[in-house]
Structure 1
Amino acid sequence: MILICGAGAFGTALAVTLAQNGPVTLWARDAAHAAEMQAARENTRRLPGIDLPDAVTILSGPLPKGDTPCLLAMPMQTLRGFLSEHAETFARRTLVACCKGMDLTTGLGPTGLIAQSCPTATPAILTGPSFARDIALGLPTALTLACADEATGQMLQRVLTSPTLRLYRSTDTIGAELGGALKNVIAIACGAAIGAGLGESARAALMTRGFAEMNRLAATLGAQPQTLAGLSGFGDLALTCTSDQSRNYRYGLSIGQGATFDPTITVEGAATARAVLARAQALGLDMPITHAVTALVTGELRVAQAMDMLLSRPLKEE
């Protein structure tokens, strides 16, 4: 049995696809939300139009104990508090983070937070180019499953692969989580450029130079270069920077258009940009796109000013 903590769109989508392999428990923090899903056999709030298979059990309240793997499908900025709240239940358990970002308070990624809050647990991360509805509809999707413990990674790869969800295994948790976090920042930049009418060439330049920034920070923090070139880095960057299904891209579009964005929608890249910039500055790293995105999300700069800032930088070799 698999336990999924978090009944948002992605947690629900994972429950739907993994139910093809066996029983899945989908835990929701909100008891009323859990009751709605149980009655309708559908997550009408987050993933409407997708039936929940009979193999999916919906729970709220106390987390079930046991030694089965637990997938943490929740916003990055809520993960640290959730882990601290349930540290005793998660002791010596395998915890798979399914969120992308960097914690604002600690500057840590998901596996770092797991190691800090639940030191006896085995951390892993599931990340890569994917949209919840694609996974739930059974459209073919490939993700990275990273776990420093190779035996645990092999077990998770077997358990979490479904007929339409293919997982590639890695031991580089640092690279995998950085790819997922940093691409959201670049997606905001790309959305802002398109929203402001700066064109496809500007987007291509931001993706390319953004990828260079991603690699710069990842290498400094000990990631393997090939990880960022894979699904969790380049693959996720390509998807998130070019699709209207991406919340981070749509958020950037709204900034570029001067429009209001729905505040109830989680935009991981907004907080991550601030956390990444602080980490980069502490390390003495130059990350101009991340700097520009941080200024955009905090309202310090408008898109035209941010673009002028980037274009006026000293000329150099690629």
Structure 2
Amino acid sequence: MSEANTPATDKVAVVGAGAFGTALATVIARTGRSEVTLIARKRDVADAILSRRRHEDALPGIDLAESLLATADPASVSTAGIVLFAMPSQAQREAAQALRPYLAPGADIVICAKGLERGTGRLLTDVVAEELRDLEVSVLSGPGFAADIATGLPTAMVIASASAERAARLATALSGPTFRLYPSADRTGVQLGGALKNVLAIACGIVEGAGLGESARAAMIARGLAELSRYVAACGGRGDTVRGLSGLGDLVLTATSHQSRNLRYGIALGRERRAAQPTVDLVEGALAASVAAAEARRLGLDMPLTFAVAAMIDGTIDVETALEQLMSRPITQE
């Protein structure tokens, strides 16, 4: 690799100027260690960020870092040593294809979305790596709402790479006083935790919407985590990964805060006692439930909560029937 083509390790590009991408860009820029460029799809968004230090549509009322750069030119990724893909999960493949001509050899790609590819059910790291074969693809996940990150509230998340050394290097490069990343070498476990906790958040929403009580919610979280651990291990990840930030931490946040779209969808489902048609791009758990249920059956895994949520979303059973089936299951050791 020639020196001219070597990406600068102190330059970070964040592609996607939604709430989460903007929050990540501003919190990394505030460390002062890196030149950070936020790449928006629309020029007027980039211009507003540069002139007013605000992105009112994504993060209303929140001041962004003074040093944050913004542009609508995708070629701006060409000098970045770390490129964060902060677009929605279903846009990751298309974005990788579009950015491929501009990305520098040796750049680190970090996926900052939670979900599985629609149609294939594949992990996002596999999807992007297929398009960017010569680049290393990592993933950032865990409990963190965009507004909390952008306003400097303490937030801890996980960054997972193919090697522990790469994950540690990226964690050091992107962490700051209020934003801490923990490195992991379990990309499978981290991604499945981020995707499938949305299914369990829908289950917790159903509990809330149906008025079943906080004890039932606690049971959903605990038993759901056990299901998730079995699923991760069967898919080649480490089962204990889900007991960390990218599993339990993210699940507690998503299953208890009304900022969560998946929780709100579950609440509506619980109140109506039947499935509302979800917008899958926004309610990732609706897609993940179907994918995980099908894969669990193929693997011979017992995942009653996941099966129940998938069936309720499909309209196969109603809330009362699902609850009756769950409560009448054979009693076994925990």
| TM band (smaller chain) | over 0.9
More displaced 10-residue stretch of structure 1: 72-81 or 10-19 = 72-81
Distance 2:47 2:280 in 1: 21
2:18 maps to 1:8: yes
Q: Which amino acid aligns with 1:69?
A: I
Q: Does the C-alpha gap of structure 1 residues 85 and 194 become closer, same or farther in structure 2, counting only changes over 3 Å? A: same
Q: Which amino acid aligns with 2:43?
A: A
Distance 1:289 1:31 in 2: 44
Q: Which residue of the partner structure matches residue 54 of structure 1? A: 66
Distance 1:261 1:48 in 2: 28
Q: Which residue of the partner structure matches residue 315 of structure 1? A: 331
2:143 maps to 1:133: no
Distance 1:187 1:113 in 2: 25
Matches within 5 A, 1:94-109: 94-109=108-123
- Cα displacement (A) at 1:48: 0.6
Distance 2:312 2:95 in 1: 29
Distance 2:53 2:279 in 1: 27
Distance 2:323 2:45 in 1: 43
Q: Which amino acid aligns with 1:59?
A: T
Query: Does the 8 Å contact 2:162/2:187 carry over to 1?
Result: yes
Distance 2:247 2:254 in 1: 11
Equivalent of 1:282, from 298, 308, 314? 298
More displaced 10-residue stretch of structure 1: 31-40 or 212-221 = 31-40
2:199 maps to 1:185: yes
- After the TM superposition, list the runs of 4 or more consecutive aligned residues in structure 1 that deviate by more than 4 angstroms: 259-265
Q: Which residue of the partner structure matches residue 73 of structure 1? A: 86
How big is each residue's C-alpha offset from its partner over 1:179-231, in whole Å with a ceiling of 9 and x where there is no partner?
11111110010011111101111111111111111011101112123311111
Partner of 2:181, secondary structure, is strand
Q: Which amino acid aligns with 1:84?
A: Q
Q: Which residue of the partner structure matches residue 42 of structure 1? A: 54
Q: Which residue of the partner structure matches residue 6 of structure 2? A: none
- Cα displacement (A) at 1:157: 1.2
Bigger Rg, structure 1 or 2: 2
Distance 2:289 2:227 in 1: 12
Equivalent of 2:238, from 209, 213, 224? 224
- Cα displacement (A) at 1:295: 2.3
Query: Does the 8 Å contact 1:254/1:261 carry over to 2?
Result: no
2:45 maps to 1:33: yes
Query: Does the 8 Å contact 2:29/2:67 carry over to 1?
Result: yes
2:187 maps to 1:173: yes
Ranges in structure 1 where 5+ consecutive residues have no aligned partner: none
How big is each residue's C-alpha offset from its partner over 1:226-249, in whole Å with a ceiling of 9 and x where there is no partner?
311111111111211111122211
More displaced 10-residue stretch of structure 1: 30-39 or 147-156 = 30-39
How big is each residue's C-alpha offset from its partner over 1:86-142, in whole Å with a ceiling of 9 and x where there is no partner?
333346421111111111222212222222221211111111111111111111111
2:307 maps to 1:291: yes
Query: Does the 8 Å contact 2:81/2:106 carry over to 1?
Result: no
2:161 maps to 1:147: yes
Partner of 1:24, secondary structure, is strand
Q: Which amino acid aligns with 2:301?
A: L
Query: Does the 8 Å contact 2:86/2:113 carry over to 1?
Result: yes
Distance 1:293 1:84 in 2: 34
Q: Which residue of the partner structure matches residue 24 of structure 1? A: 36
- Cα displacement (A) at 1:304: 2.1
- Cα displacement (A) at 1:45: 1.2
Query: Does the 8 Å contact 2:280/2:286 carry over to 1?
Result: no
Distance 1:125 1:252 in 2: 27
Q: Which residue of the partner structure matches residue 101 of structure 2? A: 88
2:213 maps to 1:203: no
- Cα displacement (A) at 1:15: 1.2
Q: Which amino acid aligns with 1:13?
A: A
- Report the TM-score when normalising by structure 2: 0.88
Partner of 2:60, secondary structure, is strand
Distance 2:70 2:94 in 1: 22
Ranges in structure 2 where 5+ consecutive residues have no aligned partner: 1-10
More displaced 10-residue stretch of structure 1: 112-121 or 183-192 = 112-121
Partner of 2:113, secondary structure, is coil
Q: CA RMSD in A?
A: 2.1
Query: Does the 8 Å contact 1:103/1:272 carry over to 2?
Result: no
Q: Does the C-alpha gap of structure 1 residues 238 and 83 become closer, same or farther in structure 2, counting only changes over 3 Å? A: same
